[in-house]
Amino acid sequence: MTLSVLISVYEGDLSEYFECALKSIWDNQTRKPDEIVLVVDGYIGRELEVLIKDFELRCYSLKLLRNDENLGLSRTLQIGLDACSCEYVARMDADDISEPIRFERMLGFLNENEQVDVLGSSIKIFGSSLTKIRSYPTSHLGVLKYIRKASPHAHPAVIFKKESIQACGGYSKELRTTQDLELWFRSLKEGNIHANLPEVLLNFRVSSEFWKRRSIEKAKVELKIYREGFKLLGVPRRYEVFIYVRFMVRRCKRLSKFIYKLIR
């Protein structure tokens, strides 16, 4: 059972956060990955470049890729996914922190449950005066129900079978946001089995940039993804009320932030 970690970095990522993220997926892991695929999405500046050079010196399994220009997260992740050589791929964001036992726990579960194609975990949300545990449905049936109202996984907390995700088309080349939700809809349509561990295995950073990314444009993209995803899975039309409520909440950033803190 082999594991690639897929992570990307772009100019907007902060060096101190990126350094913590890299340490958490290599230096601090009880079960080190077999390779780390790092995709640099365009120009990133000196501080981030210095961190990468330092990381190359101590991480013997680093595979470094570079985009000549910024292509956005979705296209960058697909480039990285194509380059992953292992059976399983773990996602990671450049500002989050994996728990030291993350890969050990998740691979242990997958070894005993080979039918599972996509596995996530609970997360601890921190930063921006917000600290909270968020859990997701642990069963495949629970995931199928949960996606009717929200994403059933925290994207940077998942590990998935590369073959299974590639078979359903991988990451969309058309989207620049919400690519994970769109992928989960297609994956479920393909018949892939999804699950989550109840254990917190990732610390999910919520900074001021997080709220800036939750724009009206993103809300519109999410609405379109839900409408198309519901058709893919044959979700009854009565559940569409959830996606329109989400859209209206997202249009008001202040209300969105309040509700996020309240229910997550």
> pTM value?
0.90
The C-alpha atoms of residue 158 and residue 171 are separated, in whole angstroms, by 14
- Helical axes 240-251 vs 253-263, angle rounded to 10°: 120
The token pair that represents 206 in the structure block: 């919520």
Ranking 10-19, 70-79, 85-94, 210-219 by mean pLDDT, the lowest is 210-219
Render pLDDT for 67-120 as a digit per residue (tens, 0 to 9). Answer: 999 999 999 999 999 999 999 999 999 999 999 999 999 999 999 999 999 999
pLDDT surpasses 70 at 174: yes
What is the number of structural domains in the chain?
A: 1
The C-alpha atoms of residue 171 and residue 169 are separated, in whole angstroms, by 7
DSSP labels, 62-82: EEEEEESS---HHHHHHHHHH
* Helix (H/G/I), strand (E/B), else coil: 229: helix
Quote the DSSP letter at residue 197: E
Q: What is the pLDDT of residue 42?
A: 96
Q: Is-contact 212 132, C-beta < 8 A?
A: no
What is the pLDDT of the chain when averaged over all its residues? 91
* CA-to-CA dists, residue 55 to 26, 31, 69, 152, 161, angstroms: 9, 18, 22, 32, 26
Please report which confidence band the pLDDT of residue 260 belongs to, taking 50, 70 and 90 as the band edges: very low
Q: Name the residue range of residue 192's domain.
A: 3-263
